[in-house]
Chain A
Amino acid sequence: MIRERHLNILLLAGFLAVPLYALAVDEPFTITLATRAAILALAAVGLNIALGWGGLVSFGHAAFFGIGGYSMGILAFHAQNYMPLDLGFAVLEGTKSMPVIWLVATLTSALAALAIGALSLRTSGVYFIMITLAFAQMFYYFAISWSRYGGEDGISIYVRNEFPGLNTLAPIQFFGLCFAALLLALWLNARLVASPFGLALNAARQVPVRVQTVGLDPTRLKLVAFVISGAITGLAGALFADLNRFVSPSMFSWHLSGELIVLIILGGVGRLMGPVIGAILFVALDHILGGWTTHWHIALGAILLGVVLFARGGVIGLLCGPKGQA
C-alpha cells in the first residue's frame, strides 16, 4: 500500500508534468485537455466537500457550475458590447477582469447554495438527491428561456478574460491559473477537514444524534459545508466558461451533476485527491476512447461498475487502503 500523502504529491507532480511536456513538444491541445481536467477536478473538489465529508449526495451541483459560468458570461458579454448591466437598483459596467469575475462567480454560487441548501436540507436521502436535481433543472430551463443572454444558444465571448500580469491567451498560462485555483481549493479542503468544523461535520455525517447531544446543530454544519462546496464548484464554472469562451445552458445540465459524482466515485469519496484522480481519468478516457468511438461512455459505465463492485474506495482506496489507515 502506498502512503496517501506520497501518492498525492506524485499525482500533482505528474499532473503538472503533462502540460509542461506538451509545451516542450508544442502540442497545445494536450494543454487544453489538462486545463479541462484541472477545472473538472476543481468542480469535483467542491462537490466532494458536501458529498464526501457532509454525506450530502447533491445531484444538482451543475446549478453552481452554471451560475459560475453565467457570472463570467454575463459580465464579459456586457464588457465586450460596451453595454452597462442594469440591475434595476444599480447600473454596473461589465468586466473582463478574471479576479472580479471569480469573486462574483464565487459569491453568487455561494448565495444560491445557501438558498438551495436551506430548502433541500429539510429532506435527506433519496429526497435530497431529487430536490437538488430539481433545483438544477429549474436553472437549466430558466437559462434556455433567457433570451437576453442567448437562450439555448448561450453566450460567446470573443476574447478570453484578463488576469493582471499574465497572457491568458497562452494555453500554458491559463492552465497555470486553473491549476493554482485547484491547489488552493485542495489546500483549503485539507485545512477544513482537520479544523474543528471539519471534525464536527465528519461526525454530523456519521451520527447526527450524537452531534445534537453535544450541543451542535448537524443541519447547520451541513448547510455551511454545502455553501462552501457550491462556491468552489461555482468558481470552476467561471474557469470552464473562460476555457471554452462560451457559456450555454448545458453547463446547468444534469449530465454534468452526474459526471461530477462519477468522478468522485472513480477517484475515492471523501478522499482529498479523489476528485483529481477521477477528473484525470475521465478526461483521459474521453480523449482516448472517444477517439475510437462516440459510445465511449459504455466503457466508462463498465469501469464505474467495476469500481463500485470491487473497489469501494475508488482508485485511492485501491492504492492506499481504506480511509484513515494510511
Chain B
Amino acid sequence: MSEIVLETCGITKSFGNLRASDGISIDLRAGEIHAVIGPNGAGKSTLIHQISGGLRPDAGQVWLNGRDVTALATPARARLGLGRTFQISALAMEDTVLENVLLGALGASGRVWRFWSQVMADRALRERAEAALARVGLSEQMHTRTSALSHGQRRQLEVAVALTLRPRAFVMDEPMAGLGAEGSKTLTGFLDGLRAEAPILLVEHDMDAVFALADRISVLVYGRIIATGSVDDIRANPEVREAYLGDGA
C-alpha cells in the first residue's frame, strides 16, 4: 500500500443531540481518488469542514503528511498542502478570472505582505496563475470578470485556484455540482489525470463520475462509515444498496 497523505482518526462531532460525525476514520493514499458518498444529511459536509479546518472535532484527530493538524486553523492546513474546492463556488465575483488564480498563487508564495510592488508585474506569480488557468482551459477568459463566467467555467476556476497551491492532497466538495453531462465528462477526465500529482478525497453525488474515478469508495450514513472498498465491493455490498444506492444501481 502506498503512503498515507491524509487521515482522520475517529473524529466525532455533535450538534446538540445530532451526531454528525460518529468516530470517522478514513485515509487518503498517494496516487488515489477516494470518494465519499452518502445520502443527504449523512454528515459529508461536516466531515469536510473538520478536514479542512473550519470545524474542530469533539474527539479524534486529523493527520496531514504525518502531522497532527487537528488544532490548526484553515490557513495553516492550506499552507501544509491541503487544497480544497467548494460545492458552491467561493470566488471573488467582482475580480477577474486571473485575479482569482493570482490569489491562490499569492497564498502559496507567501508574498502577500507587499504593499508597494504591483501584483500584475510579478512574473513568478503570473506564470503560476496562468499555468493553472491553462490546465483547466480558461486561458481565454483570463481577463473576464468572474461574475460573467458560466456555471461550468466557475467550477473549472474553482479547481484552478486549488491547483495554484500545488497541494499535497485535494479535498473536493462536489466538483460536478450543477454541471451538465458534457461538463461532467470533461472534468472527470481532468481529475482522472490529477490523481498522479496529488490524491483526491472526493465528495460527490454524481455516481457516474464516482464509479468512473474512484479507486476506493467510503459510504457515510448517519455520521458513520458503513463500508469502504473498491467500486465493485461497494456495488455488491447489500448494506450499501439498501442504505443508499437503491436496487437499481
Contacts and interface: CB of A to CB of B under 8 A. Distances in A.
Interface stretch (A1-9, A150-158, A201-209): A201-209
Interface in B69-117: 73-76, 78-79, 83-84, 86, 90-96, 99-100, 102-104, 106-108, 111-117
Contacts of A224: 113
Interface in A178-234: 191-192, 194-200, 202-203, 206-207, 209-217, 221, 224
B75 A196 contact: no
A213 B78 contact: yes
Q: Give the size range of A's interface with the partner.
A: 20 to 34
The majority secondary structure among interface residues of chain B is mixed
Interface stretch (B5-13, B39-47, B58-66, B118-126): B118-126
A325 to B, nearest CB: 8
Contacts of B94: 202, 206, 323-324
A196 B90 contact: no
Contacts, number: 108
A203 B114 contact: no
A203 B54 CA distance: 18
A199 B107 contact: no
Query: Most A CB atoms within 10 A — which of B76, B92, B112, B145?
Result: B112
Contacts of A210: 86, 90-92, 103, 161
A3 to B, nearest CB: 17
B52 interface: yes
A196 B110 CA distance: 10
Contacts of A199: 95, 99, 102-103, 106, 119
Interface in A146-174: none
Contact of B112 (A200, A207, A324): A200
Contacts of B122: 196
Nearest to B76: A215
A195 B94 CA distance: 17
Given A202-B92, A203-B92, A191 B116 contact: yes
A258 to B, nearest CB: 26
A214 B93 contact: no
B52 A213 contact: yes
Contacts of A198: 115, 119
B114 A214 contact: no
B99 A215 contact: no
B79 A215 contact: yes
A200 B79 CA distance: 15
B103 A195 contact: no
Interface residues of B, number: 44
A203 B103 contact: yes
Contact of B90 (A194, A207, A324): A207
Contacts of B100: 203
A197 B110 CA distance: 11
Contacts of B96: 324
Contacts of A215: 75-76, 78-79, 107-108, 165
A195 B122 CA distance: 10
Contacts of A209: 54, 74, 86, 90
B116 A217 contact: no
Contacts of A195: 114-119
Contacts of B99: 199, 202-203
Contacts of B74: 209, 212-213
Interface centre among A195, A196, A210 (most CB of B within 10 A): A196
Interface string B136-164: 00000000010000000000000001101
A210 B95 CA distance: 13
Interface in B148-201: 161-162, 164-165
A212 B108 CA distance: 12
A271 B74 CA distance: 31
B75 A212 contact: yes
Contacts of A207: 90-92
Nearest to A201: B112
Given A199-B119, A203-B92, A207-B92, 7 more contacts: A191-B118, A196-B119, A200-B112, A206-B95, A210-B86, A213-B52, A215-B165
19 contacts: A192-B115, A195-B116, A196-B106, A196-B113, A196-B117, A196-B119, A197-B114, A197-B115, A198-B119, A199-B102, A200-B103, A207-B90, A209-B74, A210-B91, A212-B53, A213-B52, A213-B86, A213-B162, A216-B107
